[in-house]
Amino acid sequence: MILLQLAISACAVVLILLYFPIALLQDWLLIRNRKEVEGDCDHEREGKAGRRVICIMATNGKNPLVADHILEVIKTYNLDIGLFVVKEEADHFRYSADEITVPESYRTPNGTRNKMRALQFGIDWLHAGGYGKETYICHLDDDSLVTEEYIEHIFRMKEAAGQGYIRLRKTGVHMLSTLADMVRVSNCDSFCHYFNSAGRPKAVHGEGLVIRADVEYSIGWDFGTYGCDDLIMGQLIVKNGYDFGFIPHPVLIAPPVSARDFYKQRRRWIMSVLWANKKIREIDARTMDWFLYRYAVGWTGIVGVIVFAFGLFSGFSLPVPVEAVLGFNLASYFLFYQYGTVKTSRRLMIPMALLQVPVAIYEGGTLIYSLIFPPNRDSFDVITKV
């Protein structure tokens, strides 16, 4: 029994100390960024002369009604923008936008598949159509929506690329998945905001990514990877000498509608990063180290609850300094999720408090699931969207 306690104690100490830097950093960033997250400090600047803005939605055709609803909402904005949908030849749905149809026979030089293949065809098509330095492209997934203020900011942004922060536009479709997605809100208000504001995009997501057309064309999307296109693009933009900025407005997303879709989505994200390890390290090894650290350790803030419960039943205790760090970790972990909940819907604060432990286990299990049951590299996990 003593040996078991010692082994558990040693593992607990390692996990507690590994999580502490994340807890400390995320708390500091939320405090640091709190006055800047919501509000456009650049709101008085006029739009750039001759600036064109277009929104491009890449879709696989599996959720056409949701995609079209997003387009219809954007069309209600009182803004002079272009709307495009990049779709596959097999998708016969007629969208409420100009369509760029990717021929079934189209192949990229590096053999890139899925979404990146479509994006590569799309930027080649736009370049051939004369879209260049005067045009800024706002990329949308077929379930993501940017606000009118988001697009207004694009008309006056001075950086060559940028991105805003995440908010949920749908809640409650699947409770655990919705609550787990609250951490995406917190992550964006801390890490995305910090890195993007500093011009070092290390937390890039595909929704709402804005790139000047000539920059996107010069870099292209033909990375030859399974996924991770958003992160790779963000890194290459900076590596090629262009500046990247923070857009102080939200991108609205919807959480997965089931546990199956949640695990498929997270598996795609995790394995995309792992399988793109070589590519990312060629660009910036520190970014890959950061991702691996966060994926491996980010969910372990809940270890404090396990250690506390085990201590009550077994009577073992940790050194006082470690207990203090454990308490700080645990408080930070709970508050980080509550922050995202407050920013999304205050009515979910109590469910989040009651279900925090199940949510942590639910979310942490995606890493194990991804490693044991990786996706097929020849296909691309598609989830139901609302």
Question: Over its length of 386 residues, how does the chain's per-residue pLDDT go in tens digits?
Answer: 566 666 767 777 888 888 999 999 999 999 888 765 444 455 545 677 889 999 999 999 999 999 999 999 999 999 999 999 999 999 999 999 999 999 999 999 999 999 999 999 999 999 999 999 999 999 999 999 999 999 999 999 999 999 999 999 988 889 999 999 999 999 999 999 999 999 999 889 989 999 999 999 999 999 999 999 999 999 999 999 999 999 999 999 999 999 999 999 999 999 999 999 999 999 999 999 998 898 888 878 877 777 767 666 666 677 888 888 888 998 999 999 999 999 999 999 999 999 988 998 898 899 899 999 999 888 888 888 88
CA 256 to chain centre: 14
pLDDT of residue 173: 87
The amino acid present at 109, given as its one-letter code, is: P
Q: Return the CATH architecture of domain 49-257.
A: Alpha-Beta Complex (3.90)
Q: Which residue type sits at 96?
A: S
Position 383 scores a pLDDT of 87
335: buried, middle or exposed (CB in 10 Å: 19+, 13-18, 0-12)?
Answer: middle
Opening angle at CA 250, ends 244 and 253, nearest 5: 110
CA 147 to mean position of chain CA atoms: 17
What is the three-state SS of the chain?
A: CHHHHHHHHHHHHHHHHHHHHHHHHHHHHHHHHCCCCCCCCCCCCCCCCCCEEEEEEECCCCCHHHHHHHHHHHHCCCCCCEEEEEEECCCCCCCCCEEEEECCCCCCCCCCCHHHHHHHHHHHHHHHCCCCCCEEEEEECCCCEECHHHHHHHHHCCCCEEEEEEEECCCCCCHHHHHHCHHHHHHHHHHHHHHHHCCCCCCCCCCCCEEEHHHHHHHCCCCCCCCCHHHHHHHHHHHCCCCEEEEEEEEEECCCCCHHHHHHHHHHHHHHHHHCHHHHHHHHHHHHHHHHHHHHHCCHHHHHHHHHHHHHHHCCCCCHHHHHHHHHHHHHHHHHHHHHHHHHCHHHHHHHHHHHHHHHHHHHHHHHHHHHCCCCCCCCCCCCCC
Nearest to 197 by CA among 126, 245, 255: 245
Residue in this structure with the two tokens 């879209």, named with its chain if needed: 131
At residue 44, the pLDDT reads 47
Q: What's this model's pTM, rounded to 2 decimal places?
A: 0.92
User: Can you give the pLDDT at residue 118?
Assistant: 96
Round to whole Å and give the CA distance between 232 and 273.
Answer: 10
Lookup: tokens for 351: 């469910």
Question: Domain coordinates of the chain in residue numbers?
Answer: 2-32+291-372, 49-257
State the Cα–Cα distance between residues 268 and 270, nearest whole angstrom: 6
